[in-house]
Amino acid sequence: MNNRGPRYPGYNVLDKRDTPSWNEITRKVIDHRLTLDGPKFFTLEEWLTLRALCDCIVPQRSGRAPVQCAALVDHKMELDQRDGFRPPSLPSQREAWRRGIAAINEECRERYGGAFHELTGGQQDRLLRLLEEGEASSPAWGDMPAKVFFKRRLVHDIAAAYYALPHAWNEMGFGGPASPRGYVRLDFNKRDRWEAIEQHD
Amino acid sequence: MTEDDPTRVPRAKNGRAPDVLRVGGWVPMRCFADDEQVDFVIVGTGAGGGTLSCKLSEYGFSVVALDVGPYWRPLEDFASDEHEQYKLYWTDERISGGEDALELGRNNSGQSVGGSMVHFAMVSLRFRPEWFKSRSLLGYGVDWPVDWREMWGYYREVEENLCLAGPIKYPWGPPRPRYPYRPHELNAAAKVLARGCEKLGIKWCSTPIATLSAPRGLAHPCVYRGFCIAGCSTNAKQSAINTWLPRALKAGAEIRDLAMVGRVELDANGRVRGVHYHREGQWRFQRARNVVVAGYAIETPRLLLNSACPQAPDGLANSSGLVGKYLMAHCNQGVYGVFDDEIRWYKAPPSLSLTEHWNYTDEGKDFDGGYAYMSQGPLPVEWSGTQTGNHKLWGESLLRDMERYNHYAGLKIVGECQAMETNTVRLADEKDRFGLPIANVTFAHSDNDKKLIAHAKNFMRTALEAAGGYDIWAEETETAHLMGTCRMGDDPRSSVVNPDGRTWDVPNLWICDGSLFPTSGGVNPSLTIQAMACRIADRIKALAARAEV
């Protein structure tokens, strides 16, 4: 566990929204992303599970993962924006997520007597490691391998959603949108004035 | 949705097509009726089909090019955002299995007018000459039925069309003219590669790359945004959409966007008579004297197999049984390390420097073939995919390592895959939104591939260490690009098309894309696909002059 504060204190990529770093369509799509706040595809019960999963996959130093993380996964399902392939062992993404969340909660009830979002942090962590290692045992998984679901859907979709958020770009010191203005200084330890300043120990 | 949503309403119609260089702009476009028998229908408008559309229309043939993708105007349609720009990728369902199942979409399949070149990384390398005769000269793979010297001339033509920026002297292979535009300034990530090479005593150079280092017409030089594989919103990237296709339109070609070809139809004499395509909610039929399939290594065999008919029950051009076989990708493993310096690898095109040392050196290898490796610059969503996939991070460890983003640098190979008959594209039972059977893809690496990967990872790890990197780790599974599935050859029993790109079985059916490749080489395929398209255009012109087309 790392107790240091943010690497890029005071950096907010959204401060560049009205500068030449953001073109019109970029403003439109990011503005829209930040308005997402609730489920349109998932049921309320599934949403509780998904939000708890986000808190485990992209845990925050304080508080919950931004609601837009779960909401962007939901949005991907609502519009059925696919990746371009799926393994033969998984159904299409909507069905995989529905069945996956149901099976996770079933697995939790069998092992700990409650749904995923009701478990302690330690229980949630153990449960996820079990999925990752392919040791899920609930019959609720049917013919869908929990290990493949964990890797291809659960972790993949949540991380891809989180790192599509300005919140995550601030943590990383990523420059964010850069059109039409890109960058001038490309060399080691050089930065333009519109890039994040790193806090050195 | 607005009326001008290019993903829903075709833009190229009624005598005009989008002007990709102007916001809201249009250029005139010649239009043909469905019942007009055009000289060539070309299916796909990427590196193969886009280039061929240009060349054939400039030679005076009537051309209709069909593409299922939207016709973007990059200046107004491309956000500076990875998530939004997923719209450039082929995201319709495909099933991908096998021991080393391919991840399809993002780095190997596009769905746009202009094809996957719209999101290509712009690295534009020539094949090593010996690769065109790898069986005879190097003892592995199969020979191409073309001579490298002929290809050398076509490479030059493409390099000039794309105004490639590159070094004055390229360190490997036979002499070549200097690149049309000066090389780009190197970013820190590229200098890490250079440091490693110099420490290990091998050559490196500035990557020959298809983004402008000086103005060209309405296009400005590259501003180093770094969103190249999410689509270039400034038109600095030079690709089919803003080079070959505007030339094709000017020469009288018609380009139809949002047009999915579902079946190529044979007549009773075994000749193609046209294509069935879906556009604006209905199936239509375009008559043609010739059909060229240029859908890349999955959609091309899929269309041929989906076109099975009583005269060709196993699919068109498939008497050899090889349509959909010998699918290849490139090994694309990366090695990553952390540096004390700030690298900030999100700036500038991701691969500004490279070494082809292991493509041109045959000593010290325990495998056939070769690899190039290049500097890297993944953006956050892509990088998180690498971290959760190959690095297997999630939770606290993921977030902490992602915070080291600006201190990471990496090296990544484009490594030659051996062609194996068991790597295939077949049809699944499942149907897509047009009611067409989707592709079922199977892929596994050969033992030789695995040796190449191990060699490369070991070498790159040493190079990163030498450059000052620490906490180094390597990707296990990663591929890029697609090739094979309709290989070109001299013998109808062991290939699908002849040296002119004409299918052995159907005299007026042609193939012009990466599916022709009999071997993959250790470089990105787009330059070779375009060069081959220029060559096929010249072959067609020569054959037509003898009334053989």
- Asked if B454 and B467 touch (Cβ cutoff 8 Å), the reply is no
Partner residue facing B398 (CB), from A159, A176, A181? A159
Chain B partners of A58 at a C-beta cutoff of 8 Å?
Answer: 395, 398-399
List pLDDT tens digits, range A61-102.
989 999 999 999 999 999 999 999 999 999 999 999 999 999
Q: Do the chains contact at A92 and B93, CB–CB below 8 Å?
A: yes
Judge whether residue A4 has pLDDT over 80.
no
Pairing relationship of beta strands B437-442 and B272-279 according to DSSP bridges: unpaired
Domain assignment present for residue B305? The answer is yes
Say how far apart CA B534 and CA B549 lie, in whole Å. Answer: 17
Chain A partners of B89 at a C-beta cutoff of 8 Å?
Answer: 84
Q: What is the pLDDT of residue B2?
A: 56
Cβ pairs A/B, distance under 8 A: 196
Q: Do the chains contact at A179 and B80, CB–CB below 8 Å?
A: yes
Domain assignment present for residue B182? The answer is yes
- Residues forming beta bridges with residue B425, ordered by sequence position: B441
Domain assignment present for residue B451? The answer is yes
Whether chain B has a CB inside 8 Å of the CB on A35: the answer is no
Say how far apart CA B296 and CA B315 lie, in whole Å. Answer: 17
Chain B partners of A86 at a C-beta cutoff of 8 Å?
Answer: 93-96
Shortest Cα–Cα distance, B544 to chain A (Å): 39
Nearest CA in chain A to B102: A85
Mean pLDDT of chain A: 96
Whether omega for the bond prior to residue B492 falls within 30 degrees of 0, making it cis, is: no
Shortest Cα–Cα distance, B104 to chain A (Å): 5
Q: What is the pLDDT of residue A3?
A: 58
Say how far apart CA B244 and CA B249 lie, in whole Å. Answer: 9
Report DSSP letters for B175-243, one per residue.
--PPPSBPPPPP-HHHHHHHHHHHHHT---EEPPBSB-SS-BTTBPPP-----GGG--SSS-B-SGGGT
Q: What is the pLDDT of residue B4?
A: 85
Chain A partners of B344 at a C-beta cutoff of 8 Å?
Answer: 173, 175, 191, 195
Residues of chain B falling short of pLDDT 50: 1
- How many structural domains is chain B composed of? 1
Q: Do the chains contact at A187 and B187, CB–CB below 8 Å?
A: yes
Residue A5, SS3? coil
Partner residue facing B384 (CB), from A84, A159, A180? A159
Shortest Cα–Cα distance, A102 to chain B (Å): 21
Domain region containing B375: 16-545
Say how far apart CA B191 and CA A150 lie, in whole Å. Answer: 37
Q: What is the pLDDT of residue B1?
A: 45
Say how far apart CA B18 and CA B299 lie, in whole Å. Answer: 25
Distances (CA, A) of B94 to A19, A158, B113: 40, 22, 20
Q: Which residue has the tokens 């909507």?
A: A94
Whether chain B has a CB inside 8 Å of the CB on A200: the answer is no
Chain B partners of A21 at a C-beta cutoff of 8 Å?
Answer: 80
Chain A partners of B81 at a C-beta cutoff of 8 Å?
Answer: 26, 29-30, 164, 177
Q: Do the chains contact at B81 and A30, CB–CB below 8 Å?
A: yes
Q: Which amino acid is at B190?
A: A
Whether chain B has a CB inside 8 Å of the CB on A17: the answer is no
Partner residue facing B381 (CB), from A86, A160, A176? A160
List pLDDT tens digits, range B306-361.
999 999 999 999 999 999 999 999 999 999 999 999 999 999 999 999 999 999 99
- Residues forming beta bridges with residue B334, ordered by sequence position: B412
Say how far apart CA B283 and CA B278 lie, in whole Å. Answer: 4
Domain assignment present for residue B128? The answer is yes
Q: Do the chains contact at A182 and B224, CB–CB below 8 Å?
A: yes
Residues 37-96 of chain A whose Cβ lies under 8 A from any Cβ of chain B:
56-59, 72, 81-88, 92
Residue of B99, B406, B433 to mutate for A, most A C-beta atoms under 10 A:
B406
Tell me which H or E stretch contains B250: helix B244-250
Domain assignment present for residue B7? The answer is no
Domain assignment present for residue B11? The answer is no
Q: Which ranges constitute the DSSP H helices of A18-164?
A: 24-35, 44-57, 67-78, 93-112, 121-132, 146-149, 156-162
Domain assignment present for residue B485? The answer is yes
Say how far apart CA B506 and CA B291 lie, in whole Å. Answer: 10
- Could you tell me the two tokens for B472? 């180094």
- Residues forming beta bridges with residue B427, ordered by sequence position: B439
Q: Do the chains contact at B76 and A28, CB–CB below 8 Å?
A: no
Shortest Cα–Cα distance, A109 to chain B (Å): 23
Distances (CA, A) of B481 to B69, B117, B133, B222, B265: 19, 11, 21, 24, 29
Say how far apart CA A188 and CA B344 lie, in whole Å. Answer: 8
Domain assignment present for residue B189? The answer is yes
B458 phi and psi angles, rounded to 5 deg: -65, -45
Pairing relationship of beta strands B509-511 and B282-293 according to DSSP bridges: parallel
B269 phi and psi angles, rounded to 5 deg: -90, 5
Chain B partners of A83 at a C-beta cutoff of 8 Å?
Answer: 91, 103, 105-106
Q: What is the pLDDT of residue B294?
A: 98
Judge whether residue A197 has pLDDT over 90.
yes
Q: Do the chains contact at A87 and B96, CB–CB below 8 Å?
A: yes
- Asked if B181 and B220 touch (Cβ cutoff 8 Å), the reply is no
Shortest Cα–Cα distance, A180 to chain B (Å): 7
Q: Do the chains contact at B388 and A188, CB–CB below 8 Å?
A: no
Tell me which H or E stretch contains B95: strand B95-97
CATH number at residue B399: 3.50.50.60
Q: Do the chains contact at A163 and B234, CB–CB below 8 Å?
A: no
Say how far apart CA B80 and CA B86 lie, in whole Å. Answer: 12
Nearest CA in chain A to B235: A180
Shortest Cα–Cα distance, A75 to chain B (Å): 12
Helices vs strands, H then E, count in chain A: 8, 0
Shortest Cα–Cα distance, B392 to chain A (Å): 9
Buried b (16+ CB within 10 A) or exposed e, B25-60: eeeebbebeeeeebbbbbbbbbbbbbbbbbbbbbee
Q: Which amino acid is at B195?
A: R
The residue-averaged pLDDT of A95-115 equals 98
First to last CA, chain B: 45
Q: Do the chains contact at A26 and B81, CB–CB below 8 Å?
A: yes
Q: What is the pLDDT of residue B540?
A: 98
Shortest Cα–Cα distance, A2 to chain B (Å): 8
Nearest CA in chain B to A21: B80
This complex has an ipTM of 0.97
Say how far apart CA B114 and CA A85 lie, in whole Å. Answer: 21
Chain B partners of A127 at a C-beta cutoff of 8 Å?
Answer: none
- Asked if B255 and B71 touch (Cβ cutoff 8 Å), the reply is yes
Say how far apart CA B549 and CA B538 lie, in whole Å. Answer: 12
Shortest Cα–Cα distance, B238 to chain A (Å): 17
Chain B partners of A92 at a C-beta cutoff of 8 Å?
Answer: 93
First to last CA, chain A: 17
HEC letters along A32-48:
HHHHCCCCCCCCHHHHH
